[in-house]
Amino acid sequence: MPDPSDATLVVDQLVVDFATGEGPVHAVRGVSFSLAPQEVLGIVGESGSGKSVTALAAMGLLPKNARASGSITYAGRELLGLKEKELAKVRGTGIAMIFQDPMTSLNPVYKVGWQIAEAIQAHQDVGKEEALAKAVALLETVGIPNAAERVGNYPHEFSGGMRQRVVIAIAMANDPAVILADEPTTALDVTVQAQVLSSLKKALEQTRASLLLITHDLGVIAGLADRVLVMYAGRPVEIGTVEEIFYEPAMPYTHGLLGSLPRLDSDGRERLRQIPGSPRSMVGDHSGCPFAPRCPLRADICDEEEPELRPVVSAAADPAAGDGRLPAGPPHMAACHFADRVTGLPVASMFTDSAADQEGVAL
Amino acid sequence: MTGTEPLSPAPAAGESPTGAGRSDAGTEPLLSVTDLVKHYPKRGGTFVRHQVGVVHAVCGITFGINRGETLGLVGESGCGKTTAGRSVLQLIQPTSGSVRFDGRELVGLSGRAMREVRKDLQVVFQDPFASLDPRMPVGESIAEPLHIHGLWQHGSGRRRVADALSLVGLEPHYANRFPNEFSGGQRQRVGIARALILEPKLLVLDEPVSALDVSIQAGVVNLLDDLQQRLGIAYLFIAHDLSVVRHISDRVAVMYLGRIVEIGSRTDVYDHGEHPYTQALLSAVPVPDPRRERSRTHIVLEGDVPSPENPPSGCRFRTRCWKAQDICAQEVPELVDRGGGHPVACHFPESISTL
């Protein structure tokens, strides 16, 4: 990967708090990453890990009770604190976003052709006819059959997968440099997901945009991402190439996630590994590693000191690793006091497969 | 765990503890569903509501489940898998067809007789937040089936609830807590405890782990595995997640638009799937292994699932099938066994690897 000055989107020490009746909720507690041109960075984590809030902050779409600090720069320009009018110029042309539910991003009372044309005309000096012609071409790119007729349809006349492809068409309408996709296929059936992912790949080829892909589906990440950021309790706990994360994870939480997945490609009746306990509350202040209460490797230091992201010293460089796309990238980093020990272990070997409830009562 | 009384382990897999004395226990499957059909009327009209069409939700499906076995029923939204499950439970009346359970025909059974059967035929729903009464301590929710069936006894009732809780891996003293005090995974365990307290022979699980985060889902899947081994219950496991179904099922049935297109052992369906829809479905599931995922060939289907109001003639998958010929529009492919115990409803079946 090129040096950070080439990066399109740089997030540095982003912190987002929400003011709530029960006190501040620390949704994001210091996220840093940079997105290189044409790179696909996957962000994974479970519900409440802060992955969606990170994307919303980058788009300037945080709700009013949120307070963000740190820095998010796009093409060298600071986005945090930018005026709405200035942000509107960046949205669409610089950064475009795809949300989980296409029905909330499309307006039900306008024809889809009009909605795509509106996005085009917001940033480009073209007439209505020309914008509509572009809309048809975009719908063809994302694989909508009979695009010339379908531009006259309303969103309710499309199926869920087709609506999401319309949203992708809108996202690519102004040739953005970065596309943020927040759980773009989560609500969809697998065969529809395959259609939408193939549309997304076409959109990336055509716009040459980088993609920040937020999902809890590790299979989607495995197929699409160049690098992966794993989030837990509002912080990145591990970042590395897709190969490093899947084959040499250095953070126990990453191990646990990979081990808890039932596998389509394995006939064995081997039992699933379980992460005991449940994620800690985001309200209030805590000390120590947020994963410590669920971690089989917990030691005294884990309760005292929250580990920083540090480069992992890999036990042995894997000769088969790497598909050559990102030869010398940023280092594999993990936030664990024992990362160097963890990275050599077989995936999820430190977790048990007991069926007993180990969650503890949520109060 | 201490939950061995009265939920005693089955003497042997496939033999129910209460099945003694039943002559057909060994030969007849626990559940046989034959030519099950469910059509819903579609109503419309501007001023006067009248029937304007028929939704063909389930169109003649046939399958069986043996004692102690898990059948996975997979398919995408709207394929009829949930309707099939509810028809088995008689929560909806099938339009036609037969559901035989433990030697009894359930279709047309009176409410009173059906209540008797429900002791042996229980259900766990998807949403653990919706299926528990928020104002009832979970212990009471779990005890409710005992009250309904007149099995609550002052001496043993509480103990049975405590045993059921420990059986699903929860502390017995949680009985006094309310559902809002539990996490999603724990609520689903409570739902399972409630379904198990009557010691059923068959448990219908309708998307039991879909609402849970992966790390929590693993615990519930492991629990279901354990319970089956200990108690010898049969499962009808309805889900859209093909990875979970492979993990938990002995046999798997794949549904598309109201019909079963393929049914066979786990290995038959996942490693030697012969129906083009099965193949498309499996190839669409991303595998969490980057090297393998990037070297697979993915079959991307064209178009959408046709409307169940007006399903295609002949084979229902033909409108999206890359192998479709004239015969596919004219003749419904029967779900037939070509030897090997692996029936496929396709005119041109062929085994290919999709993993």
Q: What residues of chain B lie within 8 A of the CB of A357, using their CB? A: 168-170, 185-186, 189, 219
Instruction: Tell me the pLDDT band of B51, cut-offs 50, 70 and 90.
Output: confident
Helix (H) or strand (E) segment spanning residue B165: helix B157-167
**B104: helix, strand or coil:** strand
The 8-class DSSP code of residue B11 comes to S
Closest listed residue to residue A311, CA positions, set A349, A268, A343: A343
Identity of the amino acid at B95? T
Instruction: Kindly identify which residue of chain A lies nearest to residue B280, measuring between CA atoms.
Output: A191
User: Is cis: bond before A346, omega within 30 of 0?
Assistant: no
**Which of B171, B247, B250, B266 has the most A C-beta neighbours within 10 Å, making it the best mutation to test the interface with A?**
B247
**What would be the CATH architecture of the domain defined by A4-225?**
3-Layer(aba) Sandwich (3.40)
pTM: 0.88
Interface touch B243/A361, C-beta < 8 Å = no
Domain ranges of chain A: 4-225, 237-342
State residue B206 phi and psi, 5-degree precision. Answer: -100, 100
The superfamily CATH assigns to domain B1-27+65-90+111-249 is P-loop containing nucleotide triphosphate hydrolases (3.40.50.300)
Burial class (CB in 10 A: 0-12, 13-18, 19+), A104: exposed
Using a CB–CB cutoff of 8 Å, tell me whether A21 touches chain B: no
Contacts of B213 in chain A (CB under 8 A): 46-47, 216
Is B186's CB within 8 Å of A356's CB?
A: no
Structural domain spans, chain B: 1-27+65-90+111-249, 261-355
The verdict on a CB contact (< 8 Å) between B290 and A272 is no
Q: Which of A48, A189, A225 is nearest to B210 (CA)?
A: A189
Q: Categorize the per-residue pLDDT at B30 as very low, low, confident or very high, splitting at 50, 70 and 90.
A: very high
Q: Chain B contact for A321, CB < 8 A?
A: no
Residue among B170, B244, B289 whose CB faces A222 most closely: B289
Question: Are A189 and B298 in contact (CB < 8 Å)?
Answer: no
Ramachandran region of residue B90, left (φ > 0), alpha (ψ -120 to 50) or beta?
Answer: left
List all residues of chain A from 203 to 232 with a beta carbon under 8 Å from chain B.
Answer: 216-223
Cβ-defined contact of B186 to A359 (cutoff 8 Å): yes
Write out pLDDT tens, residues B279-318.
999 999 999 999 999 999 889 998 888 999 999 999 999 9
Residue A146 to residue B302: CA distance in whole angstroms: 13
Q: Which residue of B has its CA nearest to A160?
A: B304
Instruction: Using an 8 Å CB-CB cutoff, list chain A residues near B299.
Output: 194
Distance from CA of B282 to the nearest CA of A (A): 8
Mean pLDDT across chain A: 88
> What pLDDT, on the 0 to 100 scale, is given for residue A353?
81
What pLDDT, in 10s, does the model give residues B138-197? Answer: 999 999 999 999 999 988 899 999 999 999 999 999 999 999 988 888 999 999 999 999
Report the SS3 class of residue A53: helix
Band (pLDDT 50/70/90 cuts) for residue A271 is confident
- Over residues A187-202, the pLDDT tens digits come to 889 999 999 999 999 9
CB contacts, 8 Å: B1 with chain A = 356
